[in-house]
Amino acid sequence: MGKYKNIILISGGVILTFALIGLLGFLLSESKGSQPENTNQSNGFLAAEESSFDFGNISMAAGKVSHTFKIKNSGAEPLTISKIYTSCMCTEATLVKQNERFGPFGMPGHVDIPKINQILKADEEATVEVVFDPAAHGPAGLGQTERKITIENNGKNEMTLLIRANVMP
């Protein structure tokens, strides 16, 4: 009987531990809350005039669409953009700095994402040209979609830009 009592106590302890870990994770995620969308996003010293763009209704048959985001080093020190990548193979991003192009960059795992190590001086601006191919997923890609473009830099945080579209035939 003592053997089964120990198994029950150990099992109960394991279940209680997992329940507490789950509750703690839930409380931490709730405490972050949802951040309102910011049209002048600043992460570390890297800032963007707009952090998201909605193409609205687009036709799969009409082909690729593009949008250009303006970014700026809003700090007093130089900032290094180390990598740019996207959340899906249907999206590519290119950094344009002083008429020099770096990219296009895509999704990790589908293409190699090299370090670009481009320095933006204080108050220097650049653009990120984003191209979205609504036909990349075929008929399974119809409907609302959202894709992310991540810009890694030596600032405090990486910057994420978003594009949205409602893909129609």
Confidence of residue 69 (pLDDT cuts 50, 70, 90): very high
Residues in CB range of 162: below 8 A, 6 or more apart: 51, 52, 53, 146, 147, 148, 149
- What are the pLDDT digits (tens) for 100-117? 999 999 999 877 888 999
Confidence of residue 93 (pLDDT cuts 50, 70, 90): very high
Higher pLDDT pick, 89 / 29 = 89
Distance CA 10, CA 13 (A): 5
Same domain, 95 and 135: yes
Same domain, 158 and 110: yes
Same domain, 77 and 153: yes
Same domain, 22 and 1: yes
Confidence check: pLDDT of 38 > 50: no
Residues in CB range of 18: below 8 A, 6 or more apart: none
Same domain, 76 and 138: yes
- The mean pLDDT of 45-67, rounded to a whole number, is 95
Local structure of 106: helix, strand or coil: coil
Residue 143 is part of a domain; what is its CATH number? 2.60.40.10
Same domain, 88 and 22: no
Quote the number of domains for the chain: 2
Local structure of 145: helix, strand or coil: strand
**Cα torsion at 85, 87, 67, 84 (round to 10°)?**
-10
Q: Among the listed ranges 17-21, 34-38, 39-43, which one has the minimum average pLDDT value? A: 34-38
Same domain, 12 and 59: no
Look up tokens 């250009």; give the residue: 68
Closest CA to 50 of 168, 164, 166: 164
Confidence check: pLDDT of 97 > 90: yes
Same domain, 45 and 30: no
Same domain, 4 and 75: no
Distance CA 35, CA 45 (A): 19
Same domain, 5 and 57: no
Higher pLDDT pick, 24 / 86 = 86
Confidence check: pLDDT of 30 > 50: no
Q: Are 95 and 71 spatial neighbours (Cβ–Cβ below 8 Å)?
A: no
- What are the pLDDT digits (tens) for 149-161? 999 998 666 899 9
Neighbours of 55 (CB within 10 A): 16
- At position 85, the amino acid (one-letter code) is Y
Q: What is the pLDDT of residue 45?
A: 82
Determine the structural domain holding residue 25 and report its residue range: 1-34
Same domain, 9 and 58: no
Provide the whole-model pTM. Answer: 0.73
Q: What is the DSSP letter of 47?
A: E
